[in-house]
Amino acid sequence: MDEALLRRLTPGVLAALVRRGADFAAAEDAVQDALLEALRVWPADPPRDAKGWLIAVAWRRFLDAVRADAARRRREDLREEEPAPGPAPAADDTLQLYFLCAHPALSPSSAVALTLRAVGGLTTRQIAQAYLVPEATMAQRISRAKRTVSQVRLDRPGDVATVLRVLYLVFNEGYHGDVDLAAEAIRLTRQLAAAVDHPEVAGLLALMLLHHARRAARTASDGSLVPLAEQDRGRWDTELIAEGVAILQAALARDRLGEFQAQAAVAALHADAPTAGETDWVQIVEWYDELTRLTDNPVVRLNRAVAVGEADGPRAGLAALAELDPALPRHTAVAAYLHERDGDLATAARLYAEAAHKAPNLAERDHLTRQAARLNTTRRRP
């Protein structure tokens, strides 16, 4: 049984049912019934047209559910609209599902969960494990999301920016359990890039590939974080870097700069440097200036302060940091790093310890705690 094939076909089957008039929640249930039937039937009797078979079975399951629901008897007329038997259309409907799952009526977390369920083909259990929440909690979240989008028509114009934001959130979740969300986000973004010609889609894919290329070097054997400057660059995936750079260059050549292209350009400059000391920080600052112009995002300004500290010295970085809200996430950690670069170890150690208490995850907290301990040890030496 080719489960990978079922996973690839599921979004198109679901979109076909919604396009025929099924509401999203009912269509998703019918598709799941069809997938179970495929698991039962196909090993002994594989169909010639797998997608067409799934659409036909799912549509019958949907019609059966409609007939069983007295409150929906008006939908009996849908049976008259059933197309004649024949090969399934070759068009890929997956793109429509991206836009539906990223509907602005949904919260970001619900949009991510629904995208992973409907487009990614992951089970509720897998998504729950990835988010470290109980399966029942994730099932409720997905059910609420499906109810929200059930009345949304697929022919509404899609918002590419919203879809990209959802995929970016999926990527940033990282990986837990048996689902690698970073790899899953790359897979989904590749699908989107194949379906829509948009430089920001290419920019996001390039950004993901360039970041993912450093994955093996990000943690030590004991699971602790390894800062970018200390990573073993020989462990970076050069094939992913080459692919990401090529995709980025093609996108930038279209002269329609967006925030994901600019972020990818920063990542490419890091990837291009043979050593941390050879990083072109001046050019990175210029790209952060572009990002600030595009987004005016305080997190971008925070990252720019780090780059300024590397390009023009820690005092310049601290001056840039002073213009930002101290409540900004990771502001204290950046201040600690810049004070250390400036030689003020006492202040840096205190700020590292303070940042550890604010860390968003255990790995980052442990890293910052070790930084504080390292500086305190250094200061006590005669």
Q: Is the pLDDT of residue 75 over 50?
A: no
| Confidence (pLDDT) at 340 | 97
Tokens 């290329």, located at residue: 213
Instruction: Report percent pLDDT > 70 for the chain.
Output: 89
Q: Which two tokens stand for residue 46?
A: 């594989």
| Confidence (pLDDT) at 72 | 45
pLDDT tens, position by position, 20-40: 888 888 889 999 999 999 999
- Residue 203 burial (CB < 10 Å; 0-12/13-18/19+)? buried
Distance CA 236, CA 133 (A): 32
- 183: nearest Cα among 116, 229, 123: 116
3-state secondary structure of 176: strand
3-state secondary structure of 157: coil
| Confidence (pLDDT) at 183 | 87
Q: Is the pLDDT of residue 289 over 70?
A: yes
Mean pLDDT of 317-323: 97
Contacts of 33 (CB under 8 A, 6+ apart): 57, 58, 61
Distance CA 258, CA 189 (A): 16
Query: Among the listed ranges 9-13, 136-140, 148-152, 230-234, which one has the minimum average pLDDT value?
Result: 148-152
Q: What is the DSSP letter of 150?
A: T
